[in-house]
Amino acid sequence: MIADKTDAERLSRILIEETGSLGVRLYPCERHILNRESVPIDILIDDVKELVNVKVAKDSRGEIVQIKPEYDDVERVADKTNRSLREITDLVKMKAREFLLKR
């Protein structure tokens, strides 16, 4: 289980009480994340125009490292166009990269 350090005592007690365990191990963990922003992208496929939100992660120099469309948006477009999730994801990433490089 991943939890905030401030909740460790309470969660440990609950685990012990509910599972009958005699103890709980705690390991500290750090998370390093890239700067990111959410960007709405208009996409047109087979006369179907939809807005897809994408997360854009950038490195410390501002270079794009990753573009990740929101799954629910991709699923919605795939359903409306009868195309695969992979195909829609690839199309959205390509459109997003074009849009972002023009900004």
Which one is the CATH code of 33-102: 3.30.420.40, 3.90.550.10, 3.40.50.800, 3.10.20.300? 3.10.20.300
pLDDT level of residue 62 (50, 70, 90 thresholds): confident
Q: Could you report the per-residue pLDDT of 66-85, keeping only the tens digit for each?
A: 999 999 999 999 999 999 99
Average pLDDT over residues 20-29: 93
Give Cβ neighbours of residue 95 (< 8 Å, ≥ 6 apart).
41, 43
Q: Is 74 helix (H, G, I), strand (E, B) or coil?
A: helix
In sign, the C-alpha dihedral spanning 40, 79, 86, 45 is negative
Give the Cα separation of 45 and 85 in Å (integer): 13
- In single-letter form, the type of residue at position 46 comes to D
Q: C-alpha dihedral over 63, 70, 78, 94, to 10 degrees?
A: -10
Question: Tell me, what's the pLDDT at 81?
Answer: 95
pTM for this predicted structure: 0.70
Question: Tell me, what's the pLDDT at 57?
Answer: 95
Domain boundaries, given as residue ranges, for the chain = 1-31, 33-102
Q: C-alpha dihedral over 7, 35, 68, 4, to 10 degrees?
A: 0
- What H or E segment, with its residue span, contains residue 91? helix 85-102
Give the Cα separation of 64 and 40 in Å (integer): 16
Question: Tell me, what's the pLDDT at 6?
Answer: 93
Question: Tell me, what's the pLDDT at 103?
Answer: 79
For residue 90, pLDDT over 90 is answered with yes
